[in-house]
Structure 1
Amino acid sequence: MSLSHTLSAVPLRAARWSATHPWRAISAWLAFVLVAVGMAIAIPTQETTDADYAVGDSGKASALVRDAGLDGLPTEDVLITARDGAIDRGAATAAAASLAQQMRALPKVKSVADPAWSPSGKALLVDIELVRGTDDVDALQKITDATAKANPDLSIRQAGDVSIDDGIGDRVADDLASAEGISLPITLILMLLAFGALIAAGIPVLIAASSVAATIGITAPLSHLVHAEPTVSSMIVLIGMAVGVDYSLFYLKREREERAAGHSTVDAVEIAAQTSGHSIIVSGLAVIAAMTGLYVVGGATFNSLATGSILVVAIAVLGSITVLPALLAKLGRWVDRPRVPLLWRLNKRMGRGSISRRILGPVVRRPLVALLVGGAAVVAVAVPSFGMKVHEGNLKTLPADIPQVQTLRTMTAEFPSQGAKAEVVVKADAADRAAVASALEGLKDDAVRSGAFVDEVTDPLQVSRDGTVSVLHLVMPYDESDSRADKAIETLRDLTPKSLKEIDAAGAESYVGGGVAESYDSADHLRTYLPIVVGFVLLLTLLMMGLAFRSGVIAVLSAVLNLVSVGVAFGLLTLVFQHGWFEGLLDFDSPGFVIDWLPMFILVVLVGLSMDYQVFVLSRIREHVRAGLPARLAVERGVTDTAGVVTSAAAVMVSVFAIFATLSMLEMKMMGVGLAVAILIDATLIRLVLMPAALVLIGERAWGRRRPVIGEQVTESDPAYQLV
């Protein structure tokens, strides 16, 4: 049996069983969701650790430091400046002394350094070292707040490893809660516009929401195999709502069409399973195939996002071909109740494809002109992507209105030693300890002379207890968001082999690490793998489309259109966020680059989601071709028949992603803008202009030898079929 036959048989058999045993199917789905949610309650989620993110030389340096017990303790800093005018040095010194004395008494504080004045004399800094594993600094913050209240003429603020993470975490949680809270009612409203009936509008949202809940539940035990990235739950909601609503929408729309054509409820469900159900499985497999591209990159972020996304898509497909037919069979014509009078009449009056028919007419009549004009438009948007720069998110990409971020920016400006840091880690025999120390001292002098580093670290050299691992700490005179930080890492990596050549010759290992080096290596890793993942995803989807449609032409066309969609998304990201287009409208400050993990993630999500429309539209065109229509007319009919569903599905996705464009976290804003606009262009210009124009020009060659429809023949009453 061919793959196409198998993919058609699975949803048909599932629909028949579910339609004839609706309560069993509904009960089984409900039990599955409840058990999955129960697992999330019973089993704690294992989140990612710093070690999971290590790549390149910086990752090796981090591992050596961690194994030697030299990894730094968490720190907090209190910054004291004047509220207005010149600072009162006496009052500042007294406030710092009082604050330091109180903090030394706290059980989570390991040590408090003597207050230090900035080179400009405008700021005083108190550095607090915490006990390892400390993740709560509320007690320190209370002392800081009380000291600030007692000194109204001074600005006394706290920021550090724990408080900054807390501030960012709180903002991300607030942003995502807001986005998720808005997306549900918007999706319901769009479904009401699409169906004009409350029950029909609620079913896709119900299937999608239950799929998301089940996935989040299953990821709890699964996280002990693949550690869960903190943002994975939000990505599951994002992807799950998009595909869950889409798949249910495709199925439900076709079932309603067949009932309107005179079929019984069970027959309509079976026809929907044979057609839309087949498309859902092909589309789901294509999305899963695209998501597997993230495993090629590896790393904690992409492994976690890939696992969550694949799981939610698979569960959404399962729900769409099992519990959805059961609900439709049980509800029957009640699925169209209660009707919203105005919307119901509007849907009936507009009919199928009334708007798209006006767009499609000129495309079918002059396909070459449409292809050239549409192609020129998308190429113009995609061209800037060749100049896209990627970099890891840093202080510059964080919202400036987070208090801890404001404090850290001021601290970095006043205290260069609090700026970007680098480490040179050397592992050698304990007997060579003195030689290593001498070589690292020479390297420090060379680094300072280069101008990329400053000699402001009191005790720059650390050595492990066994004397085998030595760490040289260096500081740059600017923060991590400065473009010169990457140049400094390159300079240090050029100097290190020259300064350490004698001990390296004796068998020592040396690596450049630290926060800036980790960002540099991460961005370099993603730049290297991006073209590999593009090729992998396109090749995999090409093979799947070729097997599903039994046409090499369709497979190649699908891959080309997917590549165009990706180019448009990358071009938009470059224009908006790298070059600063629409900064005022979108309320952000351009960092001059795109955050490094986003292009890879947007690539696989966009290819996967755009396959929804592609598979659905191509499947309907193929139905018409197999029923006997000429290729040109089949294209026009197929696109027109599916335009309403594609528009509704795209509207849901665009609306959900557009919400993310309003959030304050820049990476969420980038993802929202990139996906929302790219999907809008994909569902309109690419699917309504480029794809139909290309298919009309290719003609009958796109579909190969005509084959009869699998299973029951669907009778078409449209007069156009009599033209053949």
Structure 2
Amino acid sequence: MTPKPKGFAARAGHWSARHRKTAIFGWLAFIVIAFVIGGALGQKTPSEANTYDGETRRAETILADAGFPKKTGEMVLVQGGKGLEAAVDDVAHTLAQQKSVAHLTTDTVSADGRSVLVQFDLTGDPETATERVGPLLDATAQVAQRHPDLTVEQFGDASMSKQLEDAAKAEENGSMLMSFGVTLLILAFTFGALVAASVPVILAATAVLGTTGVVALFSQLLPLSDIAMPAIILIGLAVGVDYSLFYIRREREERAKGAGKLEAIDIAAATSGRAVLISGLTVMAAMAGMLLTGNTLFVSMGIATILVIAVAVIGSLTVLPAVLASLGEKLEKGRIPFIGRRQSQARESRVWGWLTDRVMRRPVLATVIAGGALVALSIPALGMETKLPGVESLDKSQPAVQTYLKVQKAFPAEADFATVVVKAKDVKAPAVQEAIAALNPSNVEVNPGGTVAKADVALRGSGVDDAALASLERLREDTIPAAFGGVDATADVTGVAAGTTDFNAVMKSKTPLVFAFVLGLAFLLMLTTFRSIVIPLKAILLNLLSVGASYGLLTLVFGDTAITSWLPLFLFVILFGLSMDYHVFILSRVREAWKGGMSSSDAVAHGIKTTAGTITSAALIMVGVFAEFATQSGVEMQQMGIGLAFAVFVDATVIRGVLLPATMKLLGDWNWYLPRWLRWLPELDHEGPGATPPRTLVPATA
């Protein structure tokens, strides 16, 4: 009689394998219903004001409620010598015929007289301006063709956004296809069979599809930024493929040992399934840290990634066993010549076995060399500078970026300014008007109710460079207090530089809190899981080493370019989560062997050798996917791709292949030390049928 499985993962796998149709069709029904309902509702996004932080959010909220006419500013740069005036007239006449153009002016001329700005407003909702600016760009291009000897180029928030979005979509589509191709290739080599390779990809893809619907539903309660979708795809594919890979490899290993189909699935459910559950909870805990920032971007990423991980875990524990039971021997279909038969045996890795044996023979030397190298690589991160991405971080080959740089050079005040939002009972009152005039604004607008005025004040520098940020600080700290002292009005500053400054302030204040939360919760989860106080401490330290090395590499590679402000925290959360993913999988196998009677050293060697091939395959997939981002044109995407790819590579090689076995060898039975005052923690080990009784977790004395 088959023993009754213990633990949620084991029971779920056991039931699923014996109720295949219910599990498979239930999963498909969930995916379809969630996707259809979510698609019908659509994802609800936050207001533009809520995407900012601090004083910038306050200013944008006042503007949003002030009732200013909805419009989007655009401009056409006309530059050159002979025929300049005729070209300006042509631009003005052509654009004036467009129904969506209003308030067109041609009186902004550069100091040398060789550049003119044709400025106008694009009427209608600014949030849909990107969708409606196309005809204006076409009209400007037609004028440019009629004046080939002059520069005639359009620039503005809508036109720049459209060009950059079109370019980004093209890059993303190419990267997505490449990522799927790389993933399938690595999985095919890992399993040696095309059917087995396709199962993780299909499960991950369905998890992503289902989560998009769930996120759309969730966003009706809490609007989520558009960043949610890329986050779902990035993390969903990562963990979805990893979890399936871990599960299938264990099932095939047990089959190779002689277990029957259902027995092998039961063992995989109780072991790898349990590791998937623990890993999923740990990764979700890491992602939850982003919620503490209060920033809309991070909150949206946090919620989206938590949901997709939850869906991937549920799919791995429920429908995956049913699929494996249904396929049976068909999982081996599509054998790849020369590697199919060898890979199907799921043997210990010879390469990693060779390395592990030598590392464990000289653990002190291995720890000093590998640990010292990572510490040395982390040191440059101490000098890391961060700032929000500005125009200088965008692809310089994009026409809109080139036009911006030309405008900034010819008209510094037109390219970079801060908007001071003044709110009072009557902004037309003499005292308020006098205070506004003291700011020396280039333009002032008053809302229909006369309660809000927005004044554009020129900033030095460009975008978010040091000069612009310093100029903003003087405006906020000196100019505004001096002008509005004693005046019954509020004055808040918004703009690109202001948004950068306020975002950096949030990161500076919230990052320590996020680090403490993620590390603390990960410690508690691993403490409960492995009933050891040493294991979680060592895991946290090793994971921090890989994150620190990634920071250091980014600082070295982008030495002359500031690191994107959101990237350090994003990298920490993502990398810590993925690192714990691998760590939990390996340590679960080590603990299983140790509790089965092996010595601590033998258990470590066995655990690493039997999981190394799977970890390597999973890491190669992640490195390939993340490296695709490094090939994109934007600096922030390059930084993210390099940071993620390098950290995962380090984690799967130096950390898991050298430092983990070396430190566990040095610690011996101390790895499983649990203080007496914590022995009340529940025993969560359910390694499946025939599991041995728990061993004492107090280290042997020498």
- Name the TM tier (shorter chain): over 0.9
| CA distance in structure 1 between the aligned counterparts of 2:642 and 2:373, rounded to whole angstroms | 19
2:689 aligned residue:
712
Q: What is the CA distance between 1:711 and its match in structure 2?
A: 4.3
Change (3 A) 1:27 1:637: same
1:78 paired with 2:55, answer no
Q: What is the CA distance between 1:635 and its match in structure 2?
A: 0.9
Query: Could you list the per-position Cα deviations for residues 288-340 of structure 1 after superposition, in whole angstroms to 9, with x for gaps in the alignment?
Result: 00000010012221111111111111111111111111111112222122311
Q: Is the 8 A contact 1:655 1:676 kept in 2?
A: yes
2:575 aligned residue:
606
Change (3 A) 1:358 1:158: same
| CA distance in structure 2 between the aligned counterparts of 1:8 and 1:313, rounded to whole angstroms | 23
2:309 aligned residue:
313
Q: Is the 8 A contact 2:70 2:123 kept in 1?
A: no
1:491 paired with 2:435, answer no
Q: Is the 8 A contact 1:538 1:562 kept in 2?
A: no
| CA distance in structure 2 between the aligned counterparts of 1:469 and 1:186, rounded to whole angstroms | 55
| CA distance in structure 2 between the aligned counterparts of 1:603 and 1:374, rounded to whole angstroms | 21
Residue pairs, 1:406-421, within 5 angstroms: 406-421=402-417
| CA distance in structure 2 between the aligned counterparts of 1:224 and 1:409, rounded to whole angstroms | 40
Identity %, equivalent residues: 38
Q: Is the 8 A contact 2:23 2:318 kept in 1?
A: yes
Q: What is the CA distance between 1:521 and its match in structure 2?
A: 1.0
1:207 paired with 2:203, answer yes
Query: Could you list the per-position Cα deviations for residues 27-76 of structure 1 after superposition, in whole angstroms to 9, with x for gaps in the alignment?
Result: 11111111122124322222343212121122212222332234873111
Residue pairs, 1:97-108, within 5 angstroms: 97-108=89-100
1:229 aligned residue:
225
Q: 1:469 aligns with which of 434, 452, 463?
A: 452
Change (3 A) 1:497 1:413: closer
2:622 aligned residue:
653
Q: Structure 1 stretch 567-576 or stretch 14-23: which is displaced more?
A: 567-576
Matched AA of 2:651: D
- Taking structure 1 as the reference length, what is the TM-score of the superposition? 0.90
Q: 1:537 aligns with which of 503, 518, 535?
A: 518
Q: Is the 8 A contact 1:114 1:127 kept in 2?
A: yes
1:583 aligned residue:
none
Q: What is the CA distance between 1:575 and its match in structure 2?
A: 1.6
Q: 2:172 aligns with which of 173, 176, 181?
A: 176
Ranges in structure 2 where 5+ consecutive residues have no aligned partner: 693-702
| CA distance in structure 1 between the aligned counterparts of 2:587 and 2:137, rounded to whole angstroms | 60
Q: Is the 8 A contact 2:404 2:415 kept in 1?
A: no
1:718 aligned residue:
none
Q: 1:548 aligns with which of 529, 550, 570?
A: 529
Change (3 A) 1:45 1:336: same
1:567 paired with 2:548, answer yes
Q: Structure 1 stretch 134-143 or stretch 266-275: which is displaced more?
A: 134-143
> Aligned with 2:259: secondary structure?
coil
Change (3 A) 1:71 1:667: farther
2:590 aligned residue:
621
Q: What is the CA distance between 1:170 and its match in structure 2?
A: 0.9
Q: What is the CA distance between 1:709 and its match in structure 2?
A: 6.0
| CA distance in structure 1 between the aligned counterparts of 2:340 and 2:208, rounded to whole angstroms | 29
| CA distance in structure 2 between the aligned counterparts of 1:372 and 1:424, rounded to whole angstroms | 55
Change (3 A) 1:480 1:373: same
Q: Structure 1 stretch 342-351 or stretch 468-477: which is displaced more?
A: 342-351
| CA distance in structure 1 between the aligned counterparts of 2:100 and 2:164, rounded to whole angstroms | 22
Matched AA of 2:21: W
1:22 aligned residue:
20
Q: What is the CA distance between 1:700 and its match in structure 2?
A: 0.7
Residue pairs, 1:112-123, within 5 angstroms: 112-123=104-115
Q: What is the CA distance between 1:12 and its match in structure 2?
A: 1.1
Q: Is the 8 A contact 2:50 2:57 kept in 1?
A: no
| CA distance in structure 1 between the aligned counterparts of 2:72 and 2:207, rounded to whole angstroms | 39
Ranges in structure 1 where 5+ consecutive residues have no aligned partner: 1-5, 445-454, 581-591, 716-724
| CA distance in structure 1 between the aligned counterparts of 2:651 and 2:503, rounded to whole angstroms | 30
Query: Could you list the per-position Cα deviations for residues 446-485 of structure 1 after superposition, in whole angstroms to 9, with x for gaps in the alignment?
Result: xxxxxxxxx7x2xx33344444334332112432143210
| CA distance in structure 2 between the aligned counterparts of 1:538 and 1:102, rounded to whole angstroms | 60
| CA distance in structure 2 between the aligned counterparts of 1:553 and 1:152, rounded to whole angstroms | 71
Matched AA of 1:712: P
| CA distance in structure 1 between the aligned counterparts of 2:464 and 2:428, rounded to whole angstroms | 37
> Aligned with 2:304: secondary structure?
helix
1:271 paired with 2:263, answer no
Change (3 A) 1:709 1:158: closer
Query: Could you list the per-position Cα deviations for residues 652-699 of structure 1 after superposition, in whole angstroms to 9, with x for gaps in the alignment?
Result: 111111111111122222111100000000111011111211111111
Q: Structure 1 stretch 461-470 or stretch 275-284: which is displaced more?
A: 461-470
Q: 2:647 aligns with which of 678, 685, 692?
A: 678
Q: What is the CA distance between 1:498 and its match in structure 2?
A: 4.1
> Aligned with 1:510: secondary structure?
strand
Matched AA of 2:668: G
1:668 paired with 2:637, answer yes
> Aligned with 2:106: secondary structure?
coil
Q: Structure 1 stretch 210-219 or stretch 65-74: which is displaced more?
A: 65-74
1:3 aligned residue:
none
Change (3 A) 1:537 1:349: closer
Q: What is the CA distance between 1:432 and its match in structure 2?
A: 8.3
Q: Is the 8 A contact 1:288 1:310 kept in 2?
A: yes
2:699 aligned residue:
none
Change (3 A) 1:150 1:421: same
1:523 aligned residue:
504
| CA distance in structure 1 between the aligned counterparts of 2:303 and 2:268, rounded to whole angstroms | 29
2:238 aligned residue:
242
1:502 aligned residue:
485
Query: Could you list the per-position Cα deviations for residues 349-370 of structure 1 after superposition, in whole angstroms to 9, with x for gaps in the alignment?
Result: 9941211111112221121221
| CA distance in structure 2 between the aligned counterparts of 1:622 and 1:31, rounded to whole angstroms | 37
| CA distance in structure 1 between the aligned counterparts of 2:621 and 2:55, rounded to whole angstroms | 43
- Taking structure 2 as the reference length, what is the TM-score of the superposition? 0.92
**Root mean square deviation of aligned Cα:** 2.2
Count of residue pairs brought into register by the alignment: 677
| CA distance in structure 2 between the aligned counterparts of 1:343 and 1:60, rounded to whole angstroms | 61
| CA distance in structure 2 between the aligned counterparts of 1:352 and 1:667, rounded to whole angstroms | 39
| CA distance in structure 1 between the aligned counterparts of 2:88 and 2:107, rounded to whole angstroms | 7
1:355 aligned residue:
351
Q: Is the 8 A contact 2:267 2:688 kept in 1?
A: no
